[in-house]
Amino acid sequence: MTKPIFVINGPNLNRLGKREPEIYGTTTLAEVEAMCRQAAGQRPLRFHQSNIEGEIINWIHEAIDEGAGIIINPAAFTFTSIAILDALKMFPGPIIELHISNIHKREAYYHNSFVSKVATAVIAGLGPKGYPTAVTAMIGLIEA
């Protein structure tokens, strides 16, 4: 059985398409999920979003046991959550950190990512199209 890719989304991403469209665009999270599933093809994919840090950690734990790779957009938790960092440190496979905007062009408090310290790769600034790009890259990392 092929292990799934976990796509984990953090707080406020359920508001994509409505929240600050000048930064995040008008694509909804449901549309992002559809793009990811199309990019994954036959590879199984588990797509999650939560505004609750503990749920995100639980999905990372699930991925530790069952996943081939993690694509994570931790949103604001990127810059605040050592708990998510600690959970990701336990994951044995590739991790892609994903951001819709280029966090390095934004305010200084967006520049220090805890997740980058364990990520295999980082994708930032491609908008919602960064998601299928990440899925394609993850498949390459898994199959390498």
Any idea which residues carry the catalytic annotation? 24, 99
Residue list for the binding site:
73, 86, 100-101
Helix (H, G, I), strand (E, B) or coil at 1: coil
Distance CA 49, CA 55 (A): 9
Rg (CA), the chain: 14
Residue list for the binding site for substrate:
73, 86, 100-101
DSSP class of residue 4?
A: P
String of b and e for 115-133 (b: at least 16 CB within 10 Å)?
beebbeebbbebebebbbb
Q: What angle do CA 130, 111, 106 make, to 5 degrees?
A: 70
